[in-house]
Structure formats: structure tokens, C-alpha cells
Structure 1
């Protein structure tokens, strides 16, 4: 089992490197304009929502946007109220990565990798270099996804892994905890969802179980923002707490609907990984759009929960 776990760790590292390269490519392309966009286009909750969505779709990392937002709130460039809209938009923007992970370009991934590497090596212009980084990152992402699928059945042959899969398929609570813990460890909800997709594609996980893991990943991803807020201003800490509470509330509602969600997703696509990606979009869009009109109430609730005097 040792060699398989080593390969699994290597594929996870390749996935995270791919995510980093895509993020670096998009960030190099946009430069520091992302921060300026967040500060400039967040006057209303709707503007903040759209700014968070667009920024996360560009950066390909909701965790990076959360750290950026916490930092801007801590330095006074953004208010706590403005950050709520950014959080809601960021949750939807993160689903772009999940959809990209389901791309099936076959041997085209090799061409994408080689072409991207060539652009990185010869690219003196920022645009060419950025496109190369994005291409290499996406190729690494797709390669890692294939790796997760290829390792799923060999790993499932071991009693320990098989027992874990059986428990996860039987209990949404186990799936939720797996998603939370794994995401908190690797600091990437996309990596957790990617691993779930690998087991799901090989029919070792049921779709409801994979949805439970996905929901857990949405809670686990909050750890990055919480860590970034340590030692920061009260408003910055409130931003991180709000991210956690919003995701926990959404998960608490959807956790009881994993079976209906699975049936609905099955109507949208025949591919299991695409079904899970669509559920991610559905979950985040519904939760964020439903919460957006209540930004003032959310602000009041967070202030009450985390700034009231303790007796």
C-alpha cells in the first residue's frame, strides 16, 4: 500500500502545483489590479458580490481571495460590510475551477503542457508568459485528475480504504467530516473535490457520498481565512468568521438533500464527475444569491455573535 499512497501524494502535489501555476498565471496577467478592483467596485453588496465572483474566477482560488479580503479589511481599505458581498461572490467564482477539472481533452493535455512550457520559457511579454503558466497549470490539473481515477480501484482493494469508502457511502456525516478534514489539511477544496471525483468516476463512491464530501470541503476551506485573520483587527476576524458561518449554514441546509441533489444532477449529465461539478455550482449559487439580500442582517448577526460583551 505504501507505493500507492506515495503515488497518491505525488498526484495531490501535482494538483496543488497546477492550481498554484494557474493562480500565478492569472495574477501575473491582472497584476495588482485585482486589489484595486476589490477596493473600487464594492460600494454596494451587489457590486461587492460581482467583484468577489470575478476576482475568484480569475485567480482560481477562493482561499487566495479570502486572504486578500481579510488583509484589505485589516488595513482599513475595505469595511466588514463590503467583505460580506465579496465572500458570497467568491463562493460562486470558485466553482469555475471545479468545472475546469471535468474537462476531457485526452492526449491534448500533453500538447497543452508542452505548449504552455514553451510559452513560459520564451515568453518575454507578460501576456505570453501568463498564458503559458495557465496552460501548464491546467495540464497538471487534468493529469492529476487522471491519476486520482487510476489509483482509485487499486487503493480500494485494501481493507482500510474499502472500509472508509463503505462508511462514507452509508453515512453523510462521515463524508462531511472527510471533506472538512482533508480540505483543512491541504488548504484546497478543489483538491478534495478532485479526489472525490476520482473515486466517483470509478464507481467506488456514490454521488450522494461525494456530495457530502463536497459540502465538507466548503467548510474546510474556511480554515485558510481563519488562519489569516489571527492577530488582525476585529473587522478582519469578523470577515473570516462570516465566511465560516455562511458556509456552515448552507451546508447544514443542503446536507439533508444529498439524495434529491444527486437525482437532479443525474438529469444534467451522464458523467459522474460533471454531475458533482454541477452540484457545486448549484449549491454555491443558491446559497450566495439567497444570502445576498440579507447582508445587513448578516452584519448585525455577526456583530452580535462575536463582539457582544461576555458576562
Structure 2
């Protein structure tokens, strides 16, 4: 019997360990799922303002820091913000120097997680989490648009708190484990003892542990929650020596600061030159901070420990007494103070950091700095809402190419005596570029729409898909105009002065509606919409007048092939105007103010 009992004991211990590990993973899953729901709800509630803030940053690096801080505070994921920054740099929304400021702010914004974990550890979690879930749940079923999104925010916050509470309860207290499972507890103690008490080497060992933990979690927030929970339960050292436990957790935090840069680095793979440089800048900034902190580690942690004891007594134990919560709040203080000090220390050197990464990631190809649209996100937090800003910029770039192509056609039309074959070749490249942009932007928008987005953004994406299609059709028409004029030259046909005047008149109206079309992508008023309809009516009226004149000249014995080329040119010009009007109508739809009928092409 004793042999059976001895053999069953290790088996039971193994099962108990596995179950404990699964409980920890389950708690972490609730926390991460809550963060995902909360973040996506926040994007739907405040996504437009967050997009405007990120895409409207000026050259002032301090505004970038504030934008990065507030964006990350809302999304609660520095990885999500930095991935978004890499995506915006890739599309040309942000410069390299602007992106560095946002990344600095993101590092500070993510420190809020440590404070949430510390505060949650102090109070009874069910008193916070379950009421939030209870308030948010009905909105998921009865709410519409913003109401439903607010429900997701409340539900997400509740699940975050609930997950943290489960994590706190599922990570066993090492001192209690010594009584219930002495074998496993002794093993953990031996590991902690081996890693600790080695001076600076211990700091490096825990730092590497923080890097590995963040790589496994793919979330610095989740890694922070695990770190503080383990510290509270004695997994990072003997709580009878709290300053040592705190220093071990602080060293892990430093490792997490390095580990979180990997997500942005992976996101930059396949992106353009500046996006790669932005990811390297994130790595450089965080590693530089860790390096100087290693030099000042002991005095800095002592300062953070003293600041912790200045916190209100309601957050800690009775004044003058030690509580395990001191370790949690000291870790939060250290995390915030370190990132704030790192920003203050390195913000004057942003241009130098930019030059360093420019030297690190060199321009080896003439097209390596070309902006492109590429859907970049991460699994934990869906960025479908915020990534629409990149699509907006790409569509504006497509509109700019359309206008440039039309100017190129007018140049070819007005200079029949010059050899403009190189200009025709350039216009063909631009037409091919628009074909590629149609493919890229359409694929990008479909990827955005395949994720959780609000109803208003679903309508917006539909309008954007129509806009890029109309732009591509407009550039096709413009290139047909170029080929028509080229065919006229090759056949030795010549337009009369009257025909040139008439074509100049209709070209002037088309150029005006193209300008209005470009402006409508940033917002449209009722006056702009009326002007667009007026311009399209003028173009259609001119086209009919010109074609009737061509018919009269052919009836009077004029050159039929030349008049047919002239008629074809007028028809293509009128079609370009129709496409421009359709784009403006869809811009009107995007602002939900009603649209007119689609122009016939």
C-alpha cells in the first residue's frame, strides 16, 4: 500500500501543477480578451478623434509624445500603438521624427496598466468587475452604434478587472504552497534563490526573463500583470525582504520594455524604408533607456521605493507597516518614473536617433522609400478602425495622380509640334500605378472590413471602395485621351484653332471638377456638391455642343477622321467629369448628408 501511495503522490502532484498552470492561463485569457474588447470598443467610440490626432501630428515632437500617451492610454497596448505608427510611416502619414515622438508617448501610456494591476490587487475585484459587466452587457443587445460600442468598453473593462482578479487568485502563494505542495514550492524557491542574491547578474537574469515573458505573451500589459501578481505571491523572492522582491520585478519590467519592441519590428518586415527605421527607432529608444537605467538601477529603485511610501495610506497598509501591495505600487511607480525619465533624457536627441537608424537601415534601392498601403496589425488588438486613416491618405494620393495625369494629357494636347513620346510613356506608368493602387487599396479595405468595425465605418468603407474604383476608371479614360491624341499625330490629323479653343474650354471645366473632387476627400459641403453638379452639367452641355458642331462640319464636307477623333476626345473628357462627380457623390455619402443620382458614364 505504501508503494502505491508513493507512486500516486508524484502523479497527483503533476496533475495539480498542470491544473494550476491552466488556471493561470485561463485567467490570463480572460484578461487579454477583456483588453481586446475594451480596446476595439474605444476605437469605435473615439476612433475618428484618435485617427485625426495621429494623422495630424505636426513636426513638434512633444505633441507626438502627448498623442502617443493618450492613444496608448485608451487602447491599453503600446504594441498596438507602435504597430499603428509603423503602418502610418509606411503610408507616409508620419515622418520618422514624428513617429519617434509617438513611440516615446506610447511607452509612457502603457505604464497605466501597472497602476491598474496594483489597485485591483488591493480591492475586492468582484465589487468592480461584475457591476461593470452588468452595466455593459445590456448595451450589447439593445444599443446601436455608439451605444453598443460603449457597452463593449464597459464589458471589456469589467473583463480586464475580472481577469486580473482571477490571475491574482490562480497564482498560488508560495508560502501556502510550502504546506500543500512542498516539492513544487521547493523547486521554485531554489530557482528564485539561484537567480537572486547575485548582485548585478541577478538584475540581468530577471531582465532576460522579462524579455522572454513579453515575447511569449505578445503583450507588455499582460507581462506586467503576471510580473506584479507573481511578486505579490512570493515568486520573485522572500516577501520578508520586500526591497529585493521589488528590484527583481523592476528588472523584469526593464526586460518587458525591450520585449515589446519585437512586435513593431515584425510589423515592419516587408514595409518600406521609413517604416523599418521607425521600428528600429523604437528598439533604439527602449534599449538606450534600459542601458542607462542599469547604471542607475540601485539609486533609482531606492527613489521609487521611497516615493511609494508617500502614497496615500488607503492604497497601502497602515502607515509605517510593510504590505505586499507596496511591491505592486513600487513596481508601478518605477515603471512610470523610468519611462518619464527616459523621455525627458532622450527627447532632445530625437534627431540623433533618427540619424542613427538612417545609418542603420540604409537606402539600398531607389524604390525602398516609396510609400505603400499595407495592412499591418497584431493579433491581440484589432486596429481596423484606426487603420482607415491610412486608406484615406492612399486615396488622396490616388486623386493626386489622377490630376497629374490630366495635366499631362493637356500638355500633350497643346503641344502638337513637340516630340512628347517620353511624356506619353510617363503617363502610361501613372496609369499602371493607379491600377496597382486600386488593387492595393481595395485589398486593404477588404481586410479592414473583415474585422470588427462600427456600422458607420462599414458604410464609409463601401464609399471608399467606390471612390478608388471611380479614380481608376477616370485614369483609364485620361490615358485613352492620351492615346487618341497620339493617334491623331500619327495619322497626321490637325485640329483647327476653333476645335482647340473648344477643347480648352471643356478641359478647363474638367480640371475644375477634378480639383473639387480632390477637396471633397477631406470633407464636403452642400455648396461644393451644388458646384460639382453645375460643373458636370456644363461639361455635358459643352460636349453636346462640340459634337453637334463636328456633325455639321462633316455634313459640310469636313475631314471625317479628324472630326471623329475630335468627337471621341470630347466624349472621353465628359466621362472623366462624370467619374469625378461620382467620387464627390460618394464623399457626400460618407458624411451622411444625402447624395444625388449617379452620373452616367
TM-score, normalized by length of structure 1?
0.91
1:253: which partner in 2?
292
Deviations 1:75-117 (A, max 9, x none): 1121112111111111111112222222234232222222222
Task: Give runs of aligned pairs for residues 38-77 of structure 1, distance below 5 A.
Answer: 38-77=54-93
2:223: which partner in 1?
192
2:189: which partner in 1?
162
1:180: which partner in 2?
211
Structure 1 stretch displaced more, 146-155 or 228-237: 146-155
Pick from 146, 151, 162 the counterpart of residue 132 of structure 1.
151
Pick from 94, 99, 110 the counterpart of residue 78 of structure 1.
94
1:117 and 1:213 mapped to 2: Cα distance?
Answer: 36
**Pairwise CA distance, 1:264:** 2.4
Task: Give runs of aligned pairs for residues 144-159 of structure 1, distance below 5 A.
Answer: 144-150=163-169, 151-153=171-173, 158=184, 159=186
Pick from 115, 136, 140 the counterpart of residue 135 of structure 2.
115
**Pairwise CA distance, 1:213:** 0.7
1:281 and 1:87 mapped to 2: Cα distance?
Answer: 15
Task: Give runs of aligned pairs for residues 195-274 of structure 1, distance below 5 A.
Answer: 195-205=226-236, 206-269=245-308, 270=316, 271=325, 272-274=327-329
Deviations 1:277-309 (A, max 9, x none): 111100111101221122111111211223288
2:346: which partner in 1?
291
1:3: which partner in 2?
19
Q: Number of residues paired by the alignment?
A: 308
8 Å CA contact 1:179–1:220 kept in 2: the answer is: yes
8 Å CA contact 2:273–2:361 kept in 1: the answer is: no
Structure 1 stretch displaced more, 32-41 or 54-63: 32-41
SS in 2 for 1:152: coil
2:191 and 2:31 mapped to 1: Cα distance?
Answer: 23
8 Å CA contact 1:230–1:237 kept in 2: the answer is: yes
Pick from 75, 88, 112 the counterpart of residue 104 of structure 2.
88
**Pairwise CA distance, 1:32:** 3.7
1:255 and 1:131 mapped to 2: Cα distance?
Answer: 42
Whether 1:142 aligns to 2:161 is yes
SS in 2 for 1:204: coil
Deviations 1:23-56 (A, max 9, x none): 1121111124322211212332122122111211
Give the structure, 1 or 2, with the largest relative contact order (CA under 8 Å, sep 6 or more): 1
Structure 1 stretch displaced more, 42-51 or 61-70: 42-51
Pick from 33, 51, 57 the counterpart of residue 17 of structure 1.
33
**Pairwise CA distance, 1:232:** 0.4
2:196 and 2:86 mapped to 1: Cα distance?
Answer: 36
8 Å CA contact 1:22–1:134 kept in 2: the answer is: yes
Instruction: Tell me which structure has the larger Cα radius of gyration.
Output: 2
8 Å CA contact 2:69–2:108 kept in 1: the answer is: yes
8 Å CA contact 2:35–2:76 kept in 1: the answer is: yes
8 Å CA contact 1:42–1:51 kept in 2: the answer is: no
2:442: which partner in 1?
none
TM-score, normalized by length of structure 2?
0.49
**Pairwise CA distance, 1:22:** 1.9
Deviations 1:121-142 (A, max 9, x none): 332241x333322222222222
Residue ranges of structure 2 left out of the alignment (5+ in a row): 1-16, 237-244, 309-315, 317-324, 365-601
SS in 2 for 1:31: helix
8 Å CA contact 1:18–1:141 kept in 2: the answer is: yes
Distance 1:164 1:308, change over 3 A: farther
Structure 1 stretch displaced more, 59-68 or 158-167: 158-167
SS in 2 for 1:42: coil
1:179 and 1:29 mapped to 2: Cα distance?
Answer: 33
Structure 1 stretch displaced more, 15-24 or 132-141: 132-141
1:167 and 1:136 mapped to 2: Cα distance?
Answer: 42
1:152 and 1:209 mapped to 2: Cα distance?
Answer: 19
8 Å CA contact 2:117–2:228 kept in 1: the answer is: no
Distance 1:147 1:69, change over 3 A: same
Distance 1:215 1:40, change over 3 A: same
